[in-house]
Structure 1
Amino acid sequence: MPEQSGRFGAAVRIASAATAAAVLAATLTPVATSSAPVPVSRGPVELPIVLTAAIDESPTTLGIADSSLYTLSEADVNTTLDKLQSLGVTDIRIAVPWIFVQPNSSQAYDWSRVDMVVKAAADRDMGLLGVITGTPPWAGFPVNGHPDPDTYAAFASAVATRYRGQISAYEVWNEPNGVTFWSPLSATAYTEMLKAAYPAIKAADPGAEVIGGVLGAVGNIPGVSTSAVSFVTRMYAEGAHGYFDALSYHPYHYVTPFSQGTLAGEPIGQVAAIRALMLANGDGDLKLWATEYGLPTSAVSAAQQAAYIHDFVVAWQQVEGAGPMFVYTTRDSATGAFDDEANFGIFTTNWTPKPAADTVAALIADLADGTLEPFDVTPYMPANPLLQSIGVFIRQLINQALLVPKIVVQLLSSVVNAVARTIAAGLGVGPAIRTAAASAPQPAATTSAAADAPTPRRAVARSKRQPALSPATSAPNSLRRAKPAQPRVVRAAVGEREHQHTARSGTGRSAR
């Protein structure tokens, strides 16, 4: 989730979100638990087993982060993916919101919406990155509370089991270095959860990439946020090495273009420092992904949004150890609204393309054929930085106040629907309830290596990163995305497959 880049913006956004989460918690009266529940899965579910493409772990991969897909109708999901496909987009970051899939520990998993999104992506041969986030009220403080690591790992395992061969990469949580999504701040608690989730996901789907960190672009503000560099430093100190296949970061900044950052705390400086930490800790062969980047056209002009995205994509090609990029997001939820969260789209609410849509299409084409050229951008300079900071303060208070009822309505609706389906099944008028193992779709065939559970620590040799491309240099064929013809074949185990790898999850979207 992006943080405002004004002097007070980051602190205001996170602190006000924490207040909103507290109101939500009081409304839902959660009960924490330290034991992992064993719910059953609703079924039978008509979900054809169509394997999706792996995400090429190259800096030339440009996808879209769209967590709103989980909340849309089937028709709107298809429209959204068709629009993205028309731009040349082949990779999507989606939400797998624990808080809605399992709103009640005693109820069955409700996979229906995730199933719908996964199938729609598979029909278009799109690669999927899933963000597993959002604490349900029974597992801890709603949305941003610390769940028991084993409880989270049990859910992550269920997700990876169900979508084996269909979701090719998973992020463990979203922006845990800010209290908006992880409260109280604790890199130690996050690392414990990551260490539980990594082997659980790998045992369920050895071919899946597990991405840690998922860090927001914030500074060190006691009790409110921890910089990405400080957070990663603590992760390594707590033994995170060996429990992720890549790290990810969200280099948002509304004022300074990514390429022009000069301060250590600005995104490009944080990226360099994170890479230095990875190298120092024996993870130099792993990639750093940028799983969310964008700007809201409520805060900047549409032309500025397009220019900053263009600048970021070009500059990212020069980052040592860079992996895929994801622009946030497809469509505004309310174009022109005061809420910044409603205006990050590259399309308006009525599907009118913003300049950024054309920019994304052109960049994808240039990245594919190696014709990406240098790009100069004029930074946005506010006339009165102090006034802008005060405006940010007021905007964020209002935005977070508007956020609470959205979450409450979504969660209550999910709970009501789950109860209704359970009652219907008990009366014999709904689908029978089966065990998770029985109803989870599985690939038609797997390799013997893929069937073996991995060791807790990463023991697979990682391929070295391709040299960074010069913007004027043609991309070698090995860096271009190759889409296999249908029917798709099952991916081999991690050690056998060609090494193809794959953040915006917010409380307003469950997982941005």
Structure 2
Amino acid sequence: MLHRALLALTLAVLMSGQLLLPRLPRPLDLPPPRTVITTNPLIGVHTRLTGIGDEGYIRRTLAQVHDMGASWIVELFPWAYIQPRSRYGFDWAGADMVIAHARAQGLQVVARLDIVPAWARPPDTTDRYLDRDHFADFANFAAAFAARYTPQGVRHFVIWNEPNLRFEWGERPPDPGAYTDLLKHVYPAIKVAAPDAIVIAGALSPGPSLEGGALRMDDMQFLASLADAGAFPFFDMWAVHAYGGLEPPDATPDLDRVNFRRIELVRDLLDRLGGADKRIIITEGGYNDHPRWSGAVRPADRLRWTIATYEQSRRYPWLEATILWQFSTPFLTRSYPDAWNFVHPDGTPRAIYLAVQEYARYGVMPEVMDP
């Protein structure tokens, strides 16, 4: 009887181990730590890695970012991935992988936090729908994220993406008052968990209002409304999406146009509203060179103007980094979104990658022959 009992106990332990083993974090295959060598420390690029789970792909991608001479990345860390089932548990595996590999490559990570899990929103709403009943839950997630990753070198945290767009605000009209209330929940929670964290607001869709503000609220109007609502004490830095559109980066800024130097209008407005102490960071921007999209530029212009964007950024002492959209995706859409990429899904560099790499190494502008 004792022999049978011991055998049963051994089998139970083995079976429980088989059940627990897949849940245990696997050791990461990290390369030796590296430092980015670049002539322009503002160079950055937006990555799309969270949720892939392929460590080899993540390692290769971030090594290529390093080798291009970029010091910064923006990466989205969806709340829905880290707390998918409830407010009571966390799944850090995917975020751990991305951040550990970015750190090994010497990259500074700007963590974008949004995307709502199903348990934190009403049925039949989008994953951008966050109501006030769950602001505290989101703040607790953001604080836990900051507490975990600030000691690992992550200091910049973007709260939401383009809240002046109906789509990004959960298919509701943009609401500066509600976004201000969200910041009022998130900012103190993060600061308690990680006092050195830099809380970033903004990352607005640039340009005038669309459909009377119901589809997009003018970015300048949204910023002014945040000041009226008392948002300024609840963020440390302001994020801008500084796309060049169809114009070179030195084109004159204007309130009715979207171009790179619109960032100067944002700076002026921040100063007038009492935010002169707020630095600015560009978390999206750049040019598209698709041959059949109305919003694209010629490939030769994309090369020149992307390098000129990084170079012009050095003229702004209040600018933290210029992080352009987007490095790569693991798939093709076979349409214009692919033409934002710096490398192909299989890792093959595009001409834009090689041009930025040359600029970052030697500080020279590309010599591009027009077709």
Provide closer, same or farther for how the CA distance between residues 163 and 44 of structure 1 changes in structure 2, counting only shifts above 3 A.
farther
Could you tell me how far 1:139 is from its partner in structure 2? Answer: 1.7
Name the Cα RMSD after superposition.
Answer: 3.2
Partner of 1:233: 224
Provide closer, same or farther for how the CA distance between residues 83 and 268 of structure 1 changes in structure 2, counting only shifts above 3 A.
closer
Provide closer, same or farther for how the CA distance between residues 376 and 246 of structure 1 changes in structure 2, counting only shifts above 3 A.
farther
Could you tell me how far 1:101 is from its partner in structure 2? Answer: 1.7
Does 2:142 align with 1:156?
Answer: yes
Asked if structure 2 preserves the Cα contact closer than 8 Å seen for 1:102 and 1:110, the reply is yes
Does 2:314 align with 1:317?
Answer: yes
Deviations 1:46-99 (A, max 9, x none): 679xxx9999xxx84111111334424001000101111111223221111012
1:258-407 correspondence runs (5 A)? 258-265=249-256, 266-268=258-260, 270-298=262-290, 299=293, 300=296, 301-319=298-316, 321-335=318-332, 337-338=334-335, 340-365=336-361, 371=363
Output the CA distance in 2 between the equivalents of 1:321 and 1:377.
Answer: 31
Bigger mean CA offset, 246-255 vs 302-311: 302-311
> 237, 246, 259: which one pairs with 1:255?
246
**2:306 counterpart letter in structure 1:** I
Could you tell me how far 1:102 is from its partner in structure 2? Answer: 1.7
Could you tell me how far 1:189 is from its partner in structure 2? Answer: 0.8
Output the CA distance in 1 between the equivalents of 2:319 and 2:351.
Answer: 26
Provide closer, same or farther for how the CA distance between residues 336 and 188 of structure 1 changes in structure 2, counting only shifts above 3 A.
closer
Provide closer, same or farther for how the CA distance between residues 188 and 346 of structure 1 changes in structure 2, counting only shifts above 3 A.
same
Could you tell me how far 1:231 is from its partner in structure 2? Answer: 1.0
**1:278 counterpart letter in structure 2:** L
Partner of 2:7: none
Tell me the TM-score normalised to structure 1 length: 0.58
The sequence identity of aligned pairs, in percent, is 22
Bigger mean CA offset, 75-84 vs 315-324: 315-324
Partner of 1:193: 182
Does 2:128 align with 1:144?
Answer: yes
Provide closer, same or farther for how the CA distance between residues 377 and 320 of structure 1 changes in structure 2, counting only shifts above 3 A.
farther
Deviations 1:79-127 (A, max 9, x none): 1011111112232211110122222226632211111111111222321
**1:347 counterpart letter in structure 2:** V
Provide closer, same or farther for how the CA distance between residues 271 and 88 of structure 1 changes in structure 2, counting only shifts above 3 A.
closer
Could you tell me how far 1:157 is from its partner in structure 2? Answer: 0.9
Could you tell me how far 1:261 is from its partner in structure 2? Answer: 3.9
Deviations 1:11-62 (A, max 9, x none): xxxxxxxxxxxxxxxxxxxxxxxxxxxxxxx9864679xxx9999xxx8411
Equivalent residue of 1:285, what SS?
A: coil
**1:213 counterpart letter in structure 2:** G
Deviations 1:422-453 (A, max 9, x none): xxxxxxxxxxxxxxxxxxxxxxxxxxxxxxxx
Does 2:92 align with 1:101?
Answer: no
Partner of 1:397: none
Output the CA distance in 1 between the equivalents of 2:111 and 2:253.
Answer: 33
Partner of 1:207: 196
Equivalent residue of 2:110, what SS?
A: strand
Provide closer, same or farther for how the CA distance between residues 314 and 322 of structure 1 changes in structure 2, counting only shifts above 3 A.
same
Provide closer, same or farther for how the CA distance between residues 209 and 246 of structure 1 changes in structure 2, counting only shifts above 3 A.
same
Tell me the TM-score normalised to structure 2 length: 0.79
Equivalent residue of 1:226, what SS?
A: coil
**1:206 counterpart letter in structure 2:** P
- Consecutive unaligned residues of structure 2, counting only runs of 5 or more, are 1-21
Provide closer, same or farther for how the CA distance between residues 337 and 153 of structure 1 changes in structure 2, counting only shifts above 3 A.
same
Which of 1 and 2 has greater Rg?
2
Provide closer, same or farther for how the CA distance between residues 268 and 93 of structure 1 changes in structure 2, counting only shifts above 3 A.
closer
